[in-house]
Structures are given as C-alpha cells and as structure tokens.
Amino acid sequence: MPTPLTEDSRLSLYTQVLGAQAASLPPVLLRLHGSGERYLSGVLKVGVARGPIARLLLRLARMPQAGESIVRVRIVPREKGEDWHRLFGDRKLFTRQDGGDGRWIVERIGLLTIYLQLQVRDRRLWLRSSITRFCGLRLPGVLGIQVVAQERAVSPDTFHSDVRIRSPLLGPLLSYSGTLRLRPNDESSEKPCAAHTHQRQRNP
C-alpha cells in the first residue's frame, strides 16, 4: 500500500527527484529523506581498497578506515539541497547534495561531483551513479567513480544502508553497510562520549 505523502515530504529534495515513486517508500525512508534537520546513529562495517595506490588516495582524502565504526549523521536542509555531515569514529565526511535538473541527486565531495539516479524497487531505495565530474569537467567512464547504494526499512525508526564505491581502473575503493537509527530531534544536542568515537580497525 503506498505511503501517504505529507506536505513536508512533497517539498523534500529526494521526493521531488523521485516523483510518484516516493509513495512506494516505507515510512522510515520517507522520514529519512523528508524535510527539516535529521539525525542518524548506528554502527557500520567499513571496507577499504586492497591496492596500495587506492589505499593511499583514500588516506589522503581522509576517508573512513576499515573496521566497525560508530557513525553519526546530521542532515541539514538548505535552499535547493542538503548538507550531509557524517562522522565515522573520528573521521568526518562532508558532502553537499542538490537536485540538479530534477532528474538526479548531484552529490559534491571536495572537487568531485557525482550524479546519482534514484529508483524505488521492492520498497527499497536504490542509488546508482551515472556521471562523474572533477573540477567541473566530465570524466570518461573509465576514469569515473561508480556508486551503488541501497536503503531498506528494518523497523519504524531504523533502516539498513549499504554503499559500495569502486573505480573501473582501481577496483573496489570503499564500502560501508549496517543499520542506522533515525533519532528524534531532541537528541541532537547529545555529545558523543568516548565509546561513540571509538573505532575498531584492522591493520592497514
């Protein structure tokens, strides 16, 4: 049965891009991609590239390290887009998302821009990259970044997230998966304690 869309969810970035497909999302995913500030927390298992060149690039970019990581996410709406503040242990990962021309989610991380196509299938949200730009220049497919991600509901306030990022030249670069909880706004001022910033890492 389709999920009724509220006025707020109709105005959100993701539901504008999804259009009629948004009604097929479970309530927790509609809330995740709704309006207003949202806060997430959970544990994600992070995998990193095996090749020395790819691992060096990930380290220079301060990407999350391999292992199980306590994760916190703050999503901040802004005009025509959203800012995603992710904290993997003590590693910060900031990206900025926009709606592009209404067909994509355009995600920017540093000098890199990735165009993501959205699809709802079996009440899961799928995101797949289609275009990569570096410093504004479109890269040929062989030099681009390939992203495949999915989100599925687990309970009324939790969902499972799985993100896989690879390069046609270097192979798998980064992956992370696990369950995240959508936290009430009144928990947003909670300060992470030492346990929340701990990360169990594998040796590089």
Distance of alpha carbon 99 from alpha carbon 72, whole angstroms: 24
Residue 123: domain span = 37-184
Percentage helix, strand, coil, to 5, in the chain? 20, 50, 30
Which residues make Cβ contacts (< 8 Å) with residue 81, sequence separation at least 6?
Answer: 13, 96, 97, 98, 99
Q: What is the CATH number of the domain that holds 136?
A: 2.40.128.20
pLDDT in tens, the chain (204 residues): 555 445 454 579 999 999 999 999 999 999 999 989 999 999 999 999 988 888 888 888 889 989 999 999 999 999 889 999 999 998 999 999 999 788 899 999 999 999 999 999 999 999 999 999 999 999 999 999 999 999 999 999 999 999 999 999 999 999 999 999 999 864 544 444 333 434 454 444
DSSP per residue, 112-129 = EEEEEEEEEETTEEEEEE
161 in a domain, yes or no?
Answer: yes
- At 92, the amino acid letter reads K
13 in a domain, yes or no?
Answer: no
51 in a domain, yes or no?
Answer: yes
6 in a domain, yes or no?
Answer: no
142 in a domain, yes or no?
Answer: yes
111 in a domain, yes or no?
Answer: yes
In the chain, the number of structural domains is: 1
For the entire predicted model, the pTM comes to: 0.83
191 in a domain, yes or no?
Answer: no
- At 186, the amino acid letter reads D
5 in a domain, yes or no?
Answer: no
